Amino acid sequence: MKRKQLGNSNFTISAIGLGGMPMSLSSRPPESQSIAVIHRALDLGVTLIDTADSYCQDESDKHHNEHLIAKALQEYSGDVRAVTVATKGGLMRPQGAWTRNGNPHHLRKTIRESFEALGGKEPIDLWQYHSPDPAYTIEAALAPAKEAVEAGMIRFIGVSNFSVEQIKRARDTVEIVSVQNQYNPWHRQPESDGVLEYCETEKLTFFPWSPLGGSRRVTSLQDMPAIAKLAEEKNVSVYCIVLAWLIAQSPCIVPIPGATKVSSVEDSVRALEVKLTDEELQQIAVS
């Protein structure tokens, strides 16, 4: 498995990760199935698992995905010392909705809960502020994360759903190693808003969330002629083509596709073997 440096840190992560979100929403699979998926990802060399305190059904179910990942790692028969778990805080799930909460008191509490959910012994590898809450300054919202680094509960800090200006403000407060924004064939804002270029220039890792378009759009990939044609020519899935396209956009990109089936994680890893020419990348760009 190819590895990449995590931002400017001395940590390395696999060139493709595993997104844990679909394992914990209302349509979640049986726990045993999710653990099998995580174990298969580890077998294949995936060492980055992305999660969040809000990957759950509602507030009564908070931290479900973190507990699940911790259990899977504990039960894995292999060596997990190289595994990086990246979690997030700052979103709430009232009655299953998604709302922002950048209140420093809340973030301080949820960081502690995430730390405990993930084992409570080693620092959280990467904690990310999930989405900036306009009710609180970025500086105030990131203060608890800075405190947690000093207290040994967090190793590295990242941000999510941030603009370039917001990333700069965050970096004036704490050291940032990563940015996680939406990026897929339908949502290509990082190409035009400067975030992707900024991450590449500043050597920050960029995690594209919803890389395959999410549950509502993933099935539409087959209807995109250029992607479908390339998938047929290269004898791979349309999902492999999209992930390979994302990886080719910048050396700082590490996709984190979600999975609830072993076959899905196996397919995602195959994307690292797919090579796209400049002409093929252009075909996708204009599709």
Each residue of 16-54: pLDDT tens digit? 999 999 999 999 999 999 999 999 999 999 999 999 999
Residue 223 pLDDT class (50, 70, 90 cuts): confident
Cα 257 from Cα 268, distance rounded (Å): 7
Question: What is the mean pLDDT of the segment spanning 66-74?
Answer: 98
DSSP 3-state of 18: strand
Annotated active-site residue 55? The verdict is yes
Q: What single DSSP character describes residue 228?
A: H
Residue 287 has pLDDT above 70, yes or no: no
| First-to-last C-alpha distance (Å) of the chain | 30
Pairing of strands 176-182, 12-14: unpaired
The mean of the pLDDT values for the chain is 96
Phi, psi of 281 (to 5 degrees): -65, -40
Residue 211 has pLDDT above 70, yes or no: yes
E-only strand ranges, 175-277: 176-182, 205-209
Is 265:37 a contact under the CB 8 Å cutoff?
yes
Catalytic annotation, pick one of 55, 129, 183, 239: 55
Q: Which residue has the higher pLDDT, 223 or 115?
A: 115
Residue 215 pLDDT class (50, 70, 90 cuts): low
Question: What is the mean pLDDT of the segment spanning 126-149?
Answer: 98
Is 107:141 a contact under the CB 8 Å cutoff?
yes
DSSP 3-state of 88: strand
DSSP 3-state of 234: helix
The residue type at 22 = P
Question: What is the mean pLDDT of the segment spanning 157-172?
Answer: 98
How much is the pLDDT for 44? 98
92-124 pLDDT, tens per residue?
A: 999 999 999 999 999 999 999 999 999 999 999
Residue 219 has pLDDT above 90, yes or no: no
How much is the pLDDT for 122? 97
Cα 54 from Cα 84, distance rounded (Å): 19
Q: Which residue has the higher pLDDT, 115 or 226?
A: 115
